[in-house]
Amino acid sequence: MGRAPCCEKMGLKKGPWTPEEDKVLVAHIQRHGHGNWRALPKQAGLLRCGKSCRLRWINYLRPDIKRGNFSREEEDAIIQLHELLGNRWSAIAARLPGRTDNEIKNVWHTHLKKRRGGPERGRHDAAGGGKKHKKPRSEKKPAAAAAAPASPERSASSSVTESSMASSVAEEHGNAGISSASASMSVSAKEESSFTSASEEFQIDESFWSETLSMPLDGYDVSMEPGDAFAAPSSAEDMDYWLKVFMEAGEVEDLPQI
């Protein structure tokens, strides 16, 4: 397959984003959406590669991103989902509204991994799509690039799945500004009931998590019947069920011994 030349072009900026760049990117996406990431930086006048723009938007600038500490419930959910899905961070993120795969990945590696008992209990990596590789990266970031990335409005909390989200913002909210966009985000009625408004402190109750965890894994291939999805995934006894599912899907050799 063709490899995207991406950032290899010289002259493109790397490293931390400046507040100005953030502004430009957000404004451009709000106005035109992000139909084509590759073309976006050029159109927006950013000296970044499309990939970098996409990452910045998805992991940081998207209005529906909920920042701040993970609640205990969220952490538990991550652990549980990781048990089921392995390192499929995007799949996990899809079930944790307002959290990005990158963020979840970070949290996992920084504390959750330890919390559940030592590094890498088992081989979830394989379940997560199984990327191999990694030759060490020698030369990396140019220099500190002082500018600590600005943190735009961080109170946003809405839910909507990743893909639907960004485009709806881009297309529906002219120059509304990201914070107001977040307040009027389209959310499903079910989820809306679990989230307070964007300006209020994010509050999660038990029902939210049971609902979240029982949402079907739509769009994510875990090799199961949609109807079976997360019927009641709550404890180790369900592991047997999932083991069976994965077994049938032929992925079992990579699963940890539970």
Partner DNA sequence: AACCCCTACAACCGCGGTGGT
Partner DNA sequence: AACCACCGCGGTTGTAGGGGT
**Shortest Å, Cβ 129 to DNA:** 4
**Shortest Å, Cβ 237 to DNA:** 26
Can you spell out the DSSP letters for the chain?
A: -PPP-GGGSTT---SSPPHHHHHHHHHHHHHH--S-TTTHHHHHT-SS-HHHHHHHIIIII-TT---SPPPHHHHHHHHHHHHHH-S-HHHHHHTSTT--HHHHHHHIIIIIHHHTTSS--S-HHHHTT-----PPP-S---S----PPP-----------HHHHHHHHHHH-SS--HHHHHHT----HHHHHHS--TTSPP---HHHHHHHHHS--TT---SS-GGGTTSS--SHHHHHHHHHHHHHHT-GGGSPP-
**Nearer Cβ to DNA, position 125 or 192?**
125
**Nearer Cβ to DNA, position 28 or 88?**
88
**Shortest Å, Cβ 89 to DNA:** 4
**Nearer Cβ to DNA, position 126 or 176?**
126
**Nearer Cβ to DNA, position 37 or 241?**
37
**Shortest Å, Cβ 193 to DNA:** 26
CB 25 within 8 A of CB 60: no
Nearest in space to 228 (alpha carbons), one of 100, 89, 84: 84
**Shortest Å, Cβ 80 to DNA:** 16
**Nearer Cβ to DNA, position 138 or 235?**
138
Binding-site ranges for DNA (CB under 7 A):
1-4, 6-7, 13-17, 35-39, 48, 50-52, 54-56, 58-60, 67, 69, 87-91, 101-103, 105-107, 109-111, 125, 128-129, 131, 133-138, 140-146, 148-149, 162-163
**Nearer Cβ to DNA, position 129 or 174?**
129
**Shortest Å, Cβ 86 to DNA:** 8
